[in-house]
A = this chain, B = another copy of it.
């Protein structure tokens, strides 16, 4: 028995994608005119469905299910990266809208409602997870005052446009007893395994370091090799060590990346006197992250014993967040009941569920991303997979009520 209206789900997703449309994708960065328009559109849809809905002065939208004192909180975010896709965030919000709306229409006796949320700035135009952190009371006025977009615009200026809205909405742990977030996978695992649903086991922790090397710039023709202090050689050796050692020392879910490196002065015929690169690694297991970090920093220290000074600076440290087992179980059971055994995978990317999971039980469900693409206008998922995912989530919510 269908718990949702597939046509209405797809229609709402496409209507939302028209707000800030950019080619085949969407450009709806947090606090842009398109972002605020999308949030007001959502408030209208929630009210039309019978929820008590509003936007607060940070841009969070919350729709409260009518006539209940406890609820399952379901949602995601409607802001996007610049020139992003139509599903990242939007999918989870419209799933929540459709599941709550269908439940209201269906009537019934449950004392547990479905509250719908769209968090502000998950993508971090100003501050990653700004909305979910505000909602959880984990964001102070000082942090808001200090925050600027990469283009220099202060967050306070961006917020001025919606300053007339009510004070920040807050998580009510007496009412909202758990959080469920559906999302596109943003990776290739489901597609590669020909699976349609993933129950997320946890959200990986991240350790990110800037490694700086400082030697001496010299003429690359006239300086004998033995007399050089080459910052590039040190960084290349460290990068090669990472490529050799992390597969041995990491776990099956460990991923790592060196996405940026710079050498100065940067001329073909000058020994690079300075350089820096950014190394990050992720894993759902905090102990494993600790072990990798100490191995890595020991290797950095060893590199620093040569003629080139090498230093490390921690840039980012996010601890892993386990997803609530009972909620994972509900998603896996709903998927299995629909004929598709759920894949169990960690999330390699951060999500609002990471923030919510510190306060209430939280879980995530993934549906496939075609070609694993996201954060790009090519981001897509088949209509059949979109509809199937919403049915599975609706079933999981029904089990939990």
Task: Please give the residue numbers on chain A whose beta carbons come within 8 Å of chain B beta carbons, in ascending order.
Answer: 185-189, 192, 204, 206, 208, 218-225, 227, 230, 232-233, 236-237, 239-240, 243, 247, 254-263, 265-272, 278, 280, 282, 315-316, 347-350, 372, 374-375
The answer to whether B219 touches A187, judged by C-beta atoms less than 8 angstroms apart, is yes
Partner of A221, one of B189, B218, B240, B255: B255
Known interface pairs A269-B259, A272-B259, A278-B268; A187-B372 also in contact (CB < 8 Å): no
Q: In the docked arrangement, what's the CA distance between A187 and B267, Å?
A: 17
Residues in chain B near residue A188, CB distance under 8 A: 223-224, 227
Q: In the docked arrangement, what's the CA distance between A266 and B267, Å?
A: 19
The answer to whether B204 touches A280, judged by C-beta atoms less than 8 angstroms apart, is no
Residues in chain B near residue A221, CB distance under 8 A: 187, 204, 206, 255, 282, 347-350
Residues in chain B near residue A259, CB distance under 8 A: 220, 232, 263, 265-272
Looking at the assembled complex, report how far the CB atom of A248 sits from the nearest CB atom of chain B, in whole angstroms.
12
The answer to whether B261 touches A261, judged by C-beta atoms less than 8 angstroms apart, is yes
Closest residue of B by beta carbon distance from A204: B221
What are 25 contact pairs spanning A and B, CB under 8 A? A185-B222, A187-B219, A187-B221, A189-B224, A204-B221, A219-B348, A221-B255, A221-B347, A221-B348, A223-B348, A232-B239, A232-B259, A233-B243, A233-B258, A236-B258, A237-B240, A258-B272, A259-B267, A259-B269, A260-B268, A260-B272, A261-B262, A261-B263, A262-B262, A268-B316
Looking at the assembled complex, report how far the CB atom of A269 sits from the nearest CB atom of chain B, in whole angstroms.
7
The answer to whether A227 touches B192, judged by C-beta atoms less than 8 angstroms apart, is yes
CB-CB nearest 4 A-B residue pairs: A187-B222, A221-B348, A220-B257, A240-B240
Closest residue of B by beta carbon distance from A267: B259
Looking at the assembled complex, report how far the CB atom of A258 sits from the nearest CB atom of chain B, in whole angstroms.
5
Closest residue of B by beta carbon distance from A188: B227
Q: In the docked arrangement, what's the CA distance between A372 and B256, Å?
A: 40
The answer to whether A220 touches B268, judged by C-beta atoms less than 8 angstroms apart, is no
The answer to whether B268 touches A225, judged by C-beta atoms less than 8 angstroms apart, is no
Residues in chain B near residue A260, CB distance under 8 A: 263, 266-268, 272
Residues in chain B near residue A186, CB distance under 8 A: 219, 222
Residues in chain B near residue A225, CB distance under 8 A: 247, 254-256
Looking at the assembled complex, report how far the CB atom of A207 sits from the nearest CB atom of chain B, in whole angstroms.
11
The answer to whether A236 touches B232, judged by C-beta atoms less than 8 angstroms apart, is no
The answer to whether B236 touches A349, judged by C-beta atoms less than 8 angstroms apart, is no
Query: Of residues A224, A315, A372, which shows the largest number of chain B Cβ atoms within 10 Å of its Cβ?
Result: A224
The answer to whether A236 touches B233, judged by C-beta atoms less than 8 angstroms apart, is no
Query: Of residues A239, A267, A269, which shows the largest number of chain B Cβ atoms within 10 Å of its Cβ?
Result: A269
Closest residue of B by beta carbon distance from A209: B268
The answer to whether B223 touches A255, judged by C-beta atoms less than 8 angstroms apart, is yes
Q: In the docked arrangement, what's the CA distance between A222 and B374, Å?
A: 10
Query: Of residues A186, A232, A260, A375, which shows the largest number of chain B Cβ atoms within 10 Å of its Cβ?
Result: A260
The answer to whether A268 touches B280, judged by C-beta atoms less than 8 angstroms apart, is yes
Looking at the assembled complex, report how far the CB atom of A25 sits from the nearest CB atom of chain B, in whole angstroms.
16
